Amino acid sequence: MKKVKTLILGAGLSGLSAAYHLSGEDFLVIEKSDHVGGLCTSEHKNGFSFDQTGHWFHMRDDRTKKLFDLLFKNEFVTIERKTFVFSHNVYTQYPFQSNTYGLPPQVIKECVMGFIKAHYENDKSRAHENFYEWCMAHLGEGISKHFMIPYNTKIYTVHPKDYASHWCDYYVPKPTLDQVIEGAVTAPEQKDIGYNATFDYPKSGGIGELPKRLFEKCEKEKFLFNVHPVEINSEEKTVTLSDGQTIKYENLINSIPLRDFLKIQTDSNKDKSIEISNRMKIASVSYLNVAFKTVPGHDGHWFYIPEEKYMPYRIGSFSNIYAQLAPDGKGSAYIEYTHQGDFDKVETLKNESLKMMKDMKIIESEDQIEFMDYRIIKNGYVIYHKEYFDDMKEVNAWCAKCDIQLVGRYGKWTYAAMENAIVEGLEAAEKIKGN
* Model confidence pLDDT, tens digit, residues 325-380: 999 999 999 999 999 999 999 999 999 999 999 999 999 999 999 999 999 999 99
Same domain for 241 and 276 = yes
Provide the pLDDT for residue 170. 66
Give the DSSP H/E element, type plus range, for residue 281.
strand 281-292
- Whether 163 is in a domain gets the answer yes
- Segments forming the whole domain that contains residue 173: 102-185
Same domain for 375 and 307 = yes
Identify the segments of the chain with pLDDT beneath 70: 170, 189-196
Provide the pLDDT for residue 137. 94
Provide the pLDDT for residue 172. 84
Spatial neighbors of 312 by CB under 8 A, at least 6 apart, are: 305, 335, 336, 337, 349, 352, 353, 356
- Whether 88 is in a domain gets the answer no
Provide the pLDDT for residue 418. 96
- Whether 86 is in a domain gets the answer no
- Whether 239 is in a domain gets the answer yes
Question: What's the alpha-carbon Rg for the chain, to the nearest Å?
Answer: 23
- Whether 370 is in a domain gets the answer yes
Same domain for 154 and 109 = yes
Same domain for 266 and 402 = yes
Provide the pLDDT for residue 191. 56
Same domain for 368 and 314 = yes
- Whether 191 is in a domain gets the answer no
* CATH code of the domain covering residue 413: 3.50.50.60
Same domain for 346 and 262 = no
- Maximum Cα–Cα distance across the chain: 70
Provide the pLDDT for residue 30. 98
Give the DSSP H/E element, type plus range, for residue 328.
none
Model pTM? 0.95
- Whether 93 is in a domain gets the answer no
Q: Judge whether 67 and 56 are in contact, CB under 8 Å.
A: no
Same domain for 30 and 77 = no
Which among 35, 47, 33, 37 has a CA at the least distance from the CA of 13? 37
Q: How many residues does the chain have?
A: 435
Same domain for 417 and 348 = no
